[in-house]
Amino acid sequence: MSTHRRISVTDDVSGVSVVRFVDKKIVDSGSIEQLGEELNSLVLVEKRNMILLNFDSVEFMSSAALNKLISLNSKVKAAAGRLKICCLRAEIKEVFTITRLDRVLDLRKTEADAIAAFKL
């Protein structure tokens, strides 16, 4: 079983891997690199391809952290899977909108909305 330090992962009954973040502020470059490795390992090592990132505990993230989400999205797509993101606070959602990442990443308001969207 993989050990994660920057994330926690729970398996929803519908087969979706729900990922939560340990850090409230995702800014430290070492932590961001580790976060990227752990997210990528979900797909490349653990072979998960239905992934939901729940941001309810995240208060702040830098663009370096955004980049890790984009990389994860590419890997999930390559694995014929789906990535969704939920529970963004308004300020972080604004960052996704400004950068137009809301066109690339599937953002959902609540975890329940996101889980339901995996079934569509």
Partner 1 sequence: MSSDQEHWHFDKVLSSDLDVGHAAIEELLTALAVCGWEGSDLFRIQMAIEEAIVNAIEHGNKRDESKKVHTVFRVTPEKVLMEITDEGAGFDHRNLADPTTDELVDQPRGRGVMLIRELMTEVVYNEIGNQVTIIKLRSDPVAEPS
Applying CB under 8 A, the residues found at the interface with partner 1 are: 27-29, 60, 62-64, 66-68, 70-71, 73-74, 90-91, 94-95, 98-101, 103-104
Closer by beta carbon to partner 1, 18 or else 65: 65
Closer by beta carbon to partner 1, 12 or else 34: 34
Q: How far is the CB of 64 from partner 1 (least distance, A)?
A: 7
Closer by beta carbon to partner 1, 57 or else 99: 99
Cα 27 to Cα 33: distance, rounded to the nearest angstrom: 10
Cα 94 to Cα 37: distance, rounded to the nearest angstrom: 26
Cα 8 to Cα 56: distance, rounded to the nearest angstrom: 13
| Residue 29 to residues 13, 19, 62, 71, Cα–Cα distance (Å) | 34, 20, 10, 16
Q: How far is the CB of 105 from partner 1 (least distance, A)?
A: 9
For residue 15, report the phi and psi dihedrals to the nearest 5 degrees: 95, 5
Q: How far is the CB of 78 from partner 1 (least distance, A)?
A: 12
